[in-house]
Amino acid sequence: MGQDKALVQIAFYAALIAALGLLPAVAIPFVSGVPITAQTLGVMLAGVMLGPLRGGLAVLLVLFLTALGLPLLAGGRGGLGVFMGPSAGFLIGWFFGAITTGYIMQLMKNQSVLVSAAIASIVGGIGVVYALGIPGLSVMAGLPLDKAALGSAVYLPGDLVKAAIAAVVAQTVARGMPSALHSRS
């Protein structure tokens, strides 16, 4: 049972990440004029809810399916082309970001869900994702690192909003369905 459940959970959060990118209804209002989607919210939630191993695998599954040709990324993007595009580094960052997020959740076991999920989402879902995404943008777009960082900064306000939402959602879910918070069990 344990293994089946893990498999289903990984697939489930992978689907959640995809669905959050496809739902136009949850698109977060434009911040600083850059269109953003809730997709990275799914990445944060996967780490927060599932912990490092399963959370990381859920992200990996999304990337794998995308590479196989399914249009799972926001705006219906998919296929191998996205891994050749300017944001390839961010996609790889999702994987390590989810792992870090899950790891921090485990480290902060004794803190409140809201606080630890917020910190974990910011460090993992933003810090780690940008730490890989910016050098990736720099290589793919031939830009100096500081200019690539400047270009990525426009997404920062939106990502902070998403970290806050991830924390609130995690807390609400933990209250309504405590068994769903696997990163702590």
Which positions lie near other proteins, rule CB under 8 A?
1, 3-5, 7-12, 14-16, 18-19, 22-23, 25-26, 28, 35, 45, 61-62, 64-65, 68-72, 75-87, 140-144, 147, 150-151, 165, 168-169, 172-173, 176-177, 180
The distance of closest approach from Cβ of residue 127 to other proteins in the complex, given in angstroms and rounded to an integer, is: 22
Burial of 108 (0-12, 13-18, 19+ CB in 10 A): middle
CB of 25: closest distance to other proteins in angstroms? 4
**Least distance (Å) between residue 15 CB and other proteins:** 3
CA-based nearest residue to 55, from 115, 158, 153, 128 = 128
* CB of 78 vs other proteins, minimal distance in Å: 6
Instruction: Give the separation between CA 93 and CA 127, rounded to whole angstroms.
Output: 9
Cβ-based nearer residue to other proteins, 45 or 129: 45
Q: Is the CB of 108 or the CB of 143 nearer to other proteins?
A: 143
Q: Which is nearer to other proteins, 111 or 147 (CB)?
A: 147
**CA-based nearest residue to 55, from 89, 83, 97:** 97
Exposure of 132 in the CB half-sphere (CA atoms within 13 A): 19
CB of 71 or CB of 157, closer to other proteins:
71
Least Å from the CB of residue 110 to other proteins? 23
Beta carbon nearer to other proteins, 110 or 145: 145
**Residue among 42, 41, 38 at smallest CA distance from 17:** 42
Quick one: CA torsion of 155, 129, 41, 3, rounded to 10 degrees? Answer: 170
